[in-house]
């Protein structure tokens, strides 16, 4: 039986661990927190998983909360104009519904499931020196912990990383009591674009205290939304969130007047630079480790792809490991496994980096046209599930014009 160590207990690490476990591998997961500590801690992310990523969970029987979590059936876009009025407002239907499950629930539940099924969980911080030893005692070591010392083993790939600094300041609040959007009678992620300022995302979700909504500001650094860095009090964090909504997205504020935080750990703030790293880490003793998900491809959450990327990465790595059989996990295997993941991740990175920059005229035309042409709105929405499709109509002005002409004439 092949022995595999996974360092990190997030979406990718645990999905991969449970998948390998179900195929008879001897898997150890190392994490710095127990399941209870995760469940009782602060929120971890703003995850919204689309149909393809959810399918990877279903294939492994890990969709434990599918019947409880709100079904997100659309993506809506609003754009703020002069005097904070909406100049664009539309919603596109998803072909398959999305869902957002608070990672405190999911990661705690998956970690407990892994242990109940006989997997070994080691709760301990891991240093590079530890991995040097483990690389000699396990057949394969995977690093799925996207923060801390271990990430430094994976050098930045400058050719795939156009940004050296954070492009957004992030602020998250999980709330109860948000009113419905009167424009439609189904749950949708709402993307509110405030040109030159940032973005507000509103995401229906499931949290530790039931159904909720996530209010998520992405602010251009140094701008009016970049005010959460020193805020420690959750109530003050929410007060600032609502004040900024009242100023920049009053239509969202109108339905948020009575909201309350879901729990004491319901806020999060921070920032990080988007980066693609080299996938293979080299240890002092000569051993090699493979980076997983956001260890090697970390995008800004502006396109909501983090947990989706993680699920897709785990699915690719699982398939690659199973197909490899008893052959050694050498450098060629590690590189080719990452390259298979990059086939999809490259499209996410290109799209995300494009959305962080001021939109060119043809993109503004596309966003505006979606308000008049439902097929355009629907194609935008389903690009969240399949970002590779943006290559066909979004980036190039001629392709965009041709696509709009075809929809108009059709």
**Separation CA 179–CA 393 (nearest Å):** 35
Whether 229 shows a pLDDT value over 90: the answer reads yes
CA distance 184 to 177: 18
Give the mean model confidence (pLDDT) for residues 282-305: 96
User: How far is it, in rounded angstroms, from Cα 266 to Cα 260?
Assistant: 10
Render pLDDT for 375-396 as a digit per residue (tens, 0 to 9): 999 999 999 999 999 999 999 9
pLDDT above 80: residue 246: yes
Cα→Cα distances 365→303, 360, 371, 391, 397, Å? 19, 9, 10, 17, 10
Give the pLDDT score at 48: 97
The CA–CA distances, whole Å, from 268 to 44, 229, 237, 247 equal 7, 10, 9, 21
In this predicted model, what pLDDT tens digit does every residue of 336-380 receive, in sequence order? Answer: 999 999 999 999 999 999 999 999 999 999 999 999 999 999 999
What are 169-211's pLDDT values in tens digits? 999 999 999 999 887 889 999 999 999 999 999 999 999 999 9
Cα 270 to Cα 237: distance, rounded to the nearest angstrom: 12
Nearest-5° Cα angle at 208, 205 to 214? 30
For residue 224, name the pLDDT band (cuts at 50, 70, 90).
very high
- Closest by CA to 13, choosing from 124, 110, 113, is 110
> What's the CA gap between 166 and 362, in Å, rounded?
26
The pLDDT of residue 149 is 84
**Model confidence at 410: pLDDT above 70:** no
Residue 151 has pLDDT above 80, yes or no: yes
* Rounded Cα distance, 115 and 403, in Å: 51
| Contact predicate 42/267, CB 8 Å | yes
Q: How far is CA 112 from the centre of its chain?
A: 22
Residue (of 6, 21, 35) closest to 310 by Cα position: 6
DSSP string, 66-88: TTTS--EEEEEEEEE-GGG-EEE
Answer whether 146's CB lies under 8 Å from 55's CB.
no
Beta bridge partners of 260: 176
Mean pLDDT of all residues belonging to the chain: 96
Specify the pLDDT at position 181.
87
For residue 133, what are the CA distances in angstroms to 149, 215, 289?
16, 43, 12
Predicted pLDDT at 409: 84
Identify the pLDDT of residue 383. Answer: 98
- Sort 43 into a burial class: Cβ within 10 Å, 0-12 / 13-18 / 19+: buried
Domains and CATH numbers, the chain: 3-44+54-62+103-162+273-355 (3.50.50.60), 72-100+165-270 (3.30.9.40), 364-409 (no CATH)
Nearest to 145 by CA among 12, 274, 277, 261: 12
Percent over 70 (pLDDT), the chain? 100
Q: Residue 182 has what pLDDT?
A: 82
- 127: pLDDT strictly greater than 70: yes
Q: What is the mean pLDDT of residues 211-239?
A: 97
Q: What pLDDT band is residue 54 in, cutting at 50, 70 and 90?
A: very high
């Amino acid at each position: 039986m092949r022995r595999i160590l996974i360092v990190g207990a997030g979406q990718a690490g645990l999905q991969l661990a449970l998948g390998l476990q179900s195929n008879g591998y001897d898997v150890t997961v190392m994490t710095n927190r127990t399941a209870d500590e995760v469940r009782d801690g602060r929120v971890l992310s703003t995850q919204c998983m689309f149909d393809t990523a959810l399918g990877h969970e279903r294939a492994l029987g890990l969709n434990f909360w599918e019947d409880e979590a709100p079904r997100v059936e659309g993506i809506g876009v609003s754009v703020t104009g002069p005097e904070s009025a909406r100049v664009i407002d539309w919603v596109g239907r998803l072909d398959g519904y999305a869902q957002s499950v608070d990672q405190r629930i999911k990661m705690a539940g998956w970690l407990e499931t892994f242990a109940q099924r006989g997997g070994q969980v080691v709760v301990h911080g891991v240093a590079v020196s530890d991995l040097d030893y483990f690389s000699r005692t396990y057949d394969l070591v995977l690093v799925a912990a996207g923060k801390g010392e271990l990430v430094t083993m994976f050098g930045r790939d400058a050719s795939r990383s156009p940004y050296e600094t954070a492009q957004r300041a992030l602020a998250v609040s999980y709330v109860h009591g948000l009113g419905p959007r009167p424009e439609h009678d189904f749950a949708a992620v709402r993307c509110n674009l405030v040109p030159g300022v940032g973005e507000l995302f509103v995401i229906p979700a499931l949290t530790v205290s039931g159904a909720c909504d996530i209010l998520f500001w992405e602010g251009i650094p140094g701008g009016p939304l970049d005010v959460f860095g020193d805020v420690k009090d959750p109530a003050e964090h929410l007060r600032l969130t609502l004040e900024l909504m009242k100023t920049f997205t009053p239509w969202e504020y109108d339905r948020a007047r009575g909201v309350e935080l879901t729990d004491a750990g319901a806020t999060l703030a921070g920032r990080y630079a988007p980066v693609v790293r080299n996938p293979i880490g080299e240890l002092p003793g000569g051993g090699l480790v493979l980076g997983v998900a956001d260890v090697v491809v970390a995008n800004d959450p502006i396109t909501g792809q983090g947990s989706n990327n993680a699920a897709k990465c785990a699915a690719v790595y699982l398939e690659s490991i199973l197909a490899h059989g008893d052959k050694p996990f050498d450098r060629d295997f590690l590189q080719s496994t990452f390259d298979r993941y990059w086939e999809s991740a490259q499209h996410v990175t290109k799209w995300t980096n494009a959305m962080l920059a001021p939109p060119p005229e043809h993109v503004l035309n596309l966003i505006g046209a979606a308000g008049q042409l439902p097929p355009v709105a629907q194609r935008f929405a389903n690009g969240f599930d399949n970002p590779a499709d943006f290559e066909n109509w979004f980036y190039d002005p001629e392709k965009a014009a041709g696509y709009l002409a075809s929809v108009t004439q059709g």
